[in-house]
Structure 1
Amino acid sequence: MVYALALLCRRKAGLTPAEFKTHFETEHVLLIKRLTGEFFPQSHQRFYIQRGSAEPHAAQMFVGDETEYDAICIMTWADESVAQKYFARVQEPHVLKQVMDDDAAFVERASTKIVALEDLRVTSG
């Protein structure tokens, strides 16, 4: 059974949404893929919150107040055991240091959330 997680993260103070997205796409994902190898998710989708180009880079909200997040990532693996191997790899000291050093360049790590997903339902038009 496919195992999926959602990661919610916020850009580091002082970065524009474009700088955050560029770093995520051209540096971070490639680093994680290289470091985790065969345990990298079979799918790693990244959705970026639509924001204005001028300070304060307000989110395009339809309902609710401003969101603190800048990206929502959906990661999927063949099953939970492969995801556990991915996270075990990320926790290896030499890997964790590289991930944390890179995170420090573009993401507010303290605000990051990772939540397990279940029971995908799709309704098409």
Structure 2
Amino acid sequence: MVYSIILLLSRKPSVTWAEFKHYWETQHMPLLKQLVGHDFPLSHTRHYLELNEEGRPNVEIGSPEGIDYDGLAVLTFWNKDHCARFMKKLQDGEKHDIHARSLDQFVDVGRLRGFTVGQTSSTGRDGGAVGWRFVGSV
């Protein structure tokens, strides 16, 4: 069974929406892969909130109050041990400092949230269970 972490990221007030997305994709992700090597997650999927004309989240259900993040990431690992190896590499002295400096370029670190999720189920439009399929290379 795979093990997943969901991250909620808010951009720094001094960082524009475009700068946030650009830095995360072109600077932070390559750096993260370099820092952890083979212990990189099976997938690191980034989602960006869609904004309306007023620059507020485009909310389909409920209200935008309380939505104070700009991006969501789903990190999927083979298992809890794989996740632990990834996290341990990021806690290493020099790697920790490099990672922290990169995050500080675009993320309001004080508002960063991450949590693990349990069992994941997925249903395809034909009604059958989709399951988890890895897209990419290990």
Alignment TM class, shorter chain as reference? over 0.9
**Larger-Rg structure:** 2
Secondary structure at 2:8's aligned position in 1? strand
For 1:111, the equivalent position in structure 2 comes to 111
Deviations 1:27-67 (A, max 9, x none): 00111100000111010000000124x6x621111223321
Rounded Cα–Cα distance in structure 1 between residues aligned with 2:112 and 2:14: 17
Matched, 1:39 2:39: yes
Q: Bigger CA drift: 86-95 or 57-66?
A: 57-66
Gapped runs of 5+ residues in structure 2? Answer: 126-138
Report the TM-score when normalising by structure 1: 0.92
The answer to whether the aligner puts 1:60 opposite 2:64 as a matched pair is no
Q: What letter is aligned with 2:56?
A: A
Point out where structure 1 has 5 or more consecutive residues left out of the alignment: none
Equivalent pairs counted in the alignment come to 123
Runs of 4+ in 1 over 4 A off after TM superposition: none
Aligned runs of 1:70-81 on 2, under 5 Å? 70-81=70-81
* Number of the residue aligned with 2:130: none
1:87-117 per-position Cα deviation (integer Å, ceiling 9, x unaligned): 0000001001101111111000111111101
Give distance in 1, aligned partners of 2:63 and 2:112: 19
Paired letter, 1:33? K
**Distance in 2, Cα, partners of 1:16 & 1:49:** 14
Match of 2:89 in 1: 89
CA contact (8 A) 1:48 1:71 kept: yes
TM-score by length of 2: 0.84
Percent identical residues: 27
Residues 7-18 of structure 1: pairs in structure 2 closer than 5 A: 7-18=7-18
Show the counterpart of 1:49: 49
